[in-house]
Amino acid sequence: MAKINLDINGKKQVVDVDPKTPMLWVLRDHLNLVGTKYGCGVAQCGACTILLEGTAVRSCMLPVSQVENKSITTIEGLSENGDHPVQKAWLEHDVAQCGYCQAGQIMTAVALLEKNPKPSDEEIEAALHGNICRCGTYLRIKAAVKTAAQS
């Protein structure tokens, strides 16, 4: 166990955990931020995607010891009222079916648009191809990313 200083969604917090604990479980079990989802646990599905200093990373393979004092954003911290342009575009296109993968999809899309505000179709596909959706919402995801890029 070790005390680790975290900066999550703009809030400084301290957790006392095994330093090898993946961020996914620190968020879900210790900080009650359950929007970030567990799919595979081995960085293969994208359900657990969060932003680390603005970069989309898989939290299931990210030990908490690696993120000390670095800024982390989860789906809960994207906006106060669910009105981040990507969230709005997701609602406009009614992207979600079961919704389980969508936090990961949205976080990946946010990171993409941060770096590349006007991505081409190919760039959207390349950025999001690692986020798996069992419900198959890929076409709407792509449309929503394009809408978000215009706003």
Binds 90: which of ligand FES, another protein, none (CB < 5-8 Å by kind): another protein
By the rule CB under 6 A, 33 interacts with ligand FES? no
Nearer to another protein, 79 or 120 (CB): 79
Nearer to ligand FES, 3 or 129 (CB): 129
By the rule CB under 8 A, 30 interacts with another protein? yes
DSSP letter at 30 equals I
What is the C-alpha to C-alpha distance for residues 149 and 43, in angstroms, rounded to an integer?
27
Does residue 54 contact residue 76 with C-beta atoms inside 8 Å? no
Q: Which two tokens stand for residue 116?
A: 């590349």
Supply the DSSP string of 77-142, one letter for each residue. Answer: GS-SSS-SHHHHHHHHTT--SS-TTHHHHHHHHHHHHHH-SS--HHHHHHHHTT---TT--HHHHH
Q: Which residue has the tokens 């179709």?
A: 121
Nearer to ligand FES, 66 or 97 (CB): 97
Nearer to another protein, 18 or 114 (CB): 18
User: Which residues of this chain interact with another protein, rule CB under 8 A?
Assistant: 1, 17-18, 21-22, 25, 28-30, 32-38, 41, 74-76, 78-79, 82, 87, 90-91, 94, 96-100, 102-103, 106, 134-135
User: Which residues of this chain interact with ligand FES, rule CB under 6 A?
Assistant: 38-41, 43-48, 58, 60, 96-102, 133-135, 137
